[in-house]
Amino acid sequence: MNKIVKKFGQIVGSNMEKHPKRSLNFLRFGYAYSGLQMEYFPEKYLLPNQVYSSVVCNRLIRYPLSDPENTAVVNIFFPCELLHAAGIRPEFVEGFAGYLNGACCERYFIDYIENVGMPKTLCSYHKALLGAAFSNVLPKPKFITFTTMICDANIITFRALADFWKIPLFAVDIPSNSNNDSEAINYVEEQLKQAVEFIEENTNKKFDYEKLKEVIRRENRSMMLYKEYLKELSAKDIPNDVTSEMYKLFFTHILNGTEEAEKYFEMLLDDAKKVEEANGRIRILWCHTLPYWQKSMKEIFNNSEKYQLLCSDMNFDAIMELDEDKPLRSLAAKLLNNHGLGSAERRAGKLLHMAKYLNADGVIYFNHWGCKKTLGGSGITKKILEENGFPVLVLDGDGCDRENVNDGQMTTRLQAFLEILEKRK
């Protein structure tokens, strides 16, 4: 770990309780500085799309720290297309908590919220965000919008934040066991109509459906580009790293439908087309979030000549064409189409399909701390994939809290798994 960054995290943490505004100013400065470093002095091995994504994601995280009145706190699965059309910037749990980790201060906020009663078993991303809010470091946004899908921490976290900040809250309830049937779509579509009314009420502006159509059109173009990229990836070893794969989540979810996202997918495909055919690397499909901050993981996967990190399954969880003439209904169908919703067999089926399509040699199933749904589905997923010829490593860890991992054990198990794949190649 960079000693300067570690010291920076200590300064943020030491000021958070007595001088929260000072901690906030340090974060603003630190993220602004790192943003300039990413833009003008990036790592030499990064592709243009990876440099661009790091800069855009940095700006997205910084924005709510300076203009919270034009910000909504969301979860990663909220249809932010509605916010983009309304001119509201989203601030999502996993992104902000990940940046706290990047500043080496996440543990201070996690300790803070655990000490006031939040259970240790709650997702680390959520605890970090809660700690930043309850310590008064994170500025109060305009409102909160979220979906109930997949993550059971959502209801606990967002209700607690709304009560603490005393701001409006809107939840979209997503049925967990629907088959994307018309009844379920109707149910979610009606709630999205109510979400639009909620946004109108809290922005004092009439919602512009023409702008939403523009967002939908950009998203459709972006997903066409992304599908072409995945086709390229199926036959090539395209340089990737654990941090860039996490950044990709910003574009496949929170920023999808924006001009920044469309440019990113154009660059992603352009970079992929310049790469030659696959040259024999071990091809790894990843399930769930990535512990991008761990030095051992970066040493294994970043700019590797031996291992190809293909993709996280969260970056292909709900790719579908949307109908701009029925935007809310299309967004409802998209939410219900997410392969993380429902049974473990559903997610395993999509993983199996993509493992075949991307010519994976093996799958790493990452059990992030506090994610009960992922943990509960690990056995079923491993069984289904291995019955179909794909070795699986179930790897326990933490995507956010650096003090909640056994790095040596993780590295040993990962290296042993990769050796098995090498022998099979």
The 3 state secondary structure assigned to the chain is: CCHHHHHHHHHHHHHCCCCHHHHHHHHHHHHHHHHHHHHHCCCCCCCHHHHHHHHHHHHHHHHHHHCHHHEEEECCCCCCHHHHHHCCEEEEHHHHHHHHHHCCCHHHHHHHHHHCCCCCCCCHHHHHHHHHHHCCCCCCCCEEEEECCCCCHHHHHHHHHHHHHCCCEEEECCCCCCCCCHHHHHHHHHHHHHHHHHHHHHHCCCCCHHHHHHHHHHHHHHHHHHHHHHHHHCCECCCCCHHHHHHHHHHHHHCCCCHHHHHHHHHHHHHHHCCCECCCCEEEEEECCCCCCCHHHHHHHCCCCCEEEEEEHHHHCCCCCCCCCCHHHHHHHHHHCCCCCCCHHHHHHHHHHHHHHCCCCEEEEEEECCCHHHHHHHHHHHHHHHHCCCCEEEEEECCCCCCCCCHHHHHHHHHHHHHHHHHHC
Distance (Å, whole) CA 147 – CA 333: 14
Instruction: Write the pLDDT tens digit of every residue in 350-382.
Output: 999 999 999 999 999 999 998 989 989 999 999
pLDDT at 176: 85
Show the domain range for 251: 3-424
Half-sphere exposure of 139 (CA within 13 A, CB side): 21
Residue 179's contacts (CB-CB under 8 Å, 6 or more residues apart) are: none
User: β-strands 282-287, 362-368: how paired?
Assistant: parallel
Of 359, 379, 351, 375, the closest CA to residue 421 belongs to 359
Q: How far apart (Å, rounded) are the C-alpha atoms in residues 245 and 297?
A: 13
The tokens for 199 are: 């946004």
pLDDT digits (tens, 9 = 90+) for 318-339: 999 999 999 999 999 999 999 9
> pTM, whole model, 2 decimals?
0.96
Per the prediction, the chain carries an average pLDDT of 96
Contact 131, 112 (CB under 8 A): yes
Residue 354: burial class (beta carbons within 10 Å; 0-12, 13-18, 19+): buried
- Output the pLDDT for position 103: 97
pLDDT (tens place) for every residue of the chain, 425 residues total: 589 999 999 999 999 999 999 999 999 999 999 999 999 999 999 999 999 999 999 999 999 999 999 999 999 999 999 999 999 999 999 999 999 999 999 999 999 999 999 999 999 999 999 999 999 999 999 999 999 999 989 999 999 999 999 999 999 999 987 766 899 999 999 999 999 999 999 999 999 999 999 999 999 999 999 999 999 999 999 999 999 999 999 999 999 999 999 999 999 999 999 998 878 899 999 999 999 999 999 999 998 999 999 999 999 999 999 999 999 999 999 999 999 999 999 999 999 999 999 999 999 999 999 898 998 999 999 999 999 999 999 999 999 999 999 999 999 999 999 999 999 87
pLDDT number for residue 1: 56
Radius of gyration of the chain (CA): 21
Structural domains in the chain (count): 1
Helices 344-357, 372-387: axis angle to 10 degrees equals 50
